[in-house]
């Protein structure tokens, strides 16, 4: 198994501004690391630099402690699974999986053993004589994964491998990839996706990346951490809004009183006043801030009157069975979303009170950085 270390890595094309800027990152042995972010943030470019398919403009890349900036892709001990499968249409499943080993002049008996073992693990044994056109999308992706497995790499690289599959196959293949990572405990995994559900369910570590102008302003990496660390303790409004589905609600507010331990705010357009935990940074009275609260953390209240409550009118109800999402009217024409039990759904136009737990609130300054610390356990 191998660790990966990126130190002050940058990537620029010609005289243009860097598309990857100031990346310092450590990926441990047998770690499942997911590069997550919106389109254009450079996550696939960063993956291709690890693979050796893109040159590094500046900085250093180490794999298993060895500097590999100038090492050819074929000698890095990595295997890559592409979004497009990249299977040879005229070859059988067996031949596709064996192709890399054949080029490396591996003995035929070793090729046969490795291909059949990978086929057993991936449940492809009955399909070895078929060609790609005779396979479903999920089966083709498993063949592409099998082609990587037979090489016994120290690092697996996945570039949005599920984006071409339908919703059901995405769920099934996601589970298979997680199972394979546990089964092949000798390899580290770097996985690129724009789907935060994939990232949350697969990753040991998420690397959330900025895009566009934010890259030049803040650097390429927005936050690195375990999935629940990013969910519960986002360092910025960008992170808070990207992680979670539906996304976090953002409500404009102003500070009434502030100390290093707590902040009292009033929501814009209302007289609703809320008390929020602080992280040691005192805010000045009348300072503009943004309150962040996730739909699942707004608790329908049994009655009105609590100081830590807000009341809104229901404009739309999304009924999903087990639960419903309530779209609530906000001052200024914005929409607030709350999650409610599916068997107790209020009617459209009804006024509903919600408790706003201080431990679930996040506060962001005008520059987008978090200035509160939720009272929750730390996630390593």
Instruction: Check residue 173 and give its pLDDT.
Output: 80
Measured distance CA(264)–CA(268) in Å, rounded: 13
Same domain membership, residue 265 and residue 211: no
Segments forming the whole domain that contains residue 143: 4-241
**Tokens in use for 24?**
């310092």
Beta bridge partner(s), residue 63: 4, 66
For 61, the enclosing helix (H) or strand (E) is strand 58-63
Decide: 240 and 192 in contact? Cβ < 8 Å. no
Instruction: Check residue 118 and give its pLDDT.
Output: 87
Measured distance CA(291)–CA(309) in Å, rounded: 14
Beta strands at 299-300 and 58-63: parallel, antiparallel or unpaired: unpaired
Give the residue among 190, 202, 200 at the shortest CA–CA distance from 243. Answer: 200
Instruction: Check residue 303 and give its pLDDT.
Output: 62
**pLDDT band, residue 379 (cuts 50/70/90):** very low
Q: Say which residue, 190 or 305, is predicted with more confidence.
A: 190
**pLDDT band, residue 374 (cuts 50/70/90):** low
Same domain membership, residue 226 and residue 177: yes
Instruction: Check residue 305 and give its pLDDT.
Output: 57
For the chain, what is the radius of gyration of the CA atoms?
A: 25
The CATH number of residue 203's host domain is: 3.40.50.300
206, 241, 276 - which closes a domain: 241
Same domain membership, residue 208 and residue 340: no
Cβ neighbour number for residue 186 with a 10 Å cutoff:
11
Q: Say which residue, 306 or 275, is predicted with more confidence.
A: 275
Average pLDDT score, the chain: 87
Q: Read off the pLDDT of residues 73-94 as tens digits, 9 standing for 90 and up.
A: 988 989 888 888 789 999 999 9
């Amino acid at each position: 198994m191998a660790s990966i270390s990126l130190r002050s890595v940058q990537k620029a094309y010609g005289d243009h501004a860097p598309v990857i800027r100031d990346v310092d990152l450590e990926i441990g042995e047998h770690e499942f690391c997911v590069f997550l972010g919106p389109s254009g943030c450079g996550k696939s470019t960063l993956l291709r630099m690890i693979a050796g398919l893109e040159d590094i403009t500046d900085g250093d890349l180490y794999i298993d402690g060895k500097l590999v900036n100038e090492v050819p892709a074929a000698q890095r001990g990595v295997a890559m699974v592409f979004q497009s499968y990249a299977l040879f249409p005229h070859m059988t499943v067996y031949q596709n999986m064996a192709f890399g080993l054949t080029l490396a002049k591996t003995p035929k008996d070793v090729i046969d053993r490795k291909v059949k073992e990978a086929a057993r693990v991936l449940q492809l044994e009955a399909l070895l004589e078929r060609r790609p056109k005779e396979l479903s999308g999920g089966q083709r992706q498993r063949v592409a994964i099998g082609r990587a497995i037979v090489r016994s790499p120290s690092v697996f690289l996945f570039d949005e491998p599920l984006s071409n599959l339908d919703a059901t196959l995405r769920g099934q293949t996601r589970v298979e990839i997680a199972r394979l990572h546990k089964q092949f405990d000798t390899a580290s995994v770097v996985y690129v996706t724009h789907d935060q559900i994939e990232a949350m369910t697969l990753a040991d570590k998420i690397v959330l990346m900025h895009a566009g102008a934010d890259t030049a302003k803040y650097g390429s990496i927005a936050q690195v951490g375990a999935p629940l660390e990013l969910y519960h303790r986002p360092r910025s409004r960008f992170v808070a809004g990207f992680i979670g589905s539906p996304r976090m609600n953002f409500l404009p507010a102003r500070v009434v009183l502030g100390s290093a331990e707590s902040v009292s705010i009033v929501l814009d357009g209302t007289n609703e006043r809320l008390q929020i935990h602080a992280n040691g940074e005192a805010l000045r009275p009348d300072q503009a801030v943004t309150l962040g609260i996730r739909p699942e953390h707004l608790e329908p209240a049994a009655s009105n009157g609590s100081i830590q409550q807000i009341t809104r009118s229901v404009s739309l109800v999304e009924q999903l069975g087990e639960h419903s999402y309530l779209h609530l009217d906000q001052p200024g024409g914005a929409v607030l979303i709350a999650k409610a039990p599916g068997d107790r759904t209020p009617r459209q136009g009804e006024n509903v009170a919600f408790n706003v737990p201080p431990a679930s609130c996040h506060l962001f300054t005008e520059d987008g950085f978090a200035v509160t610390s939720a009272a929750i356990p730390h996630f390593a």
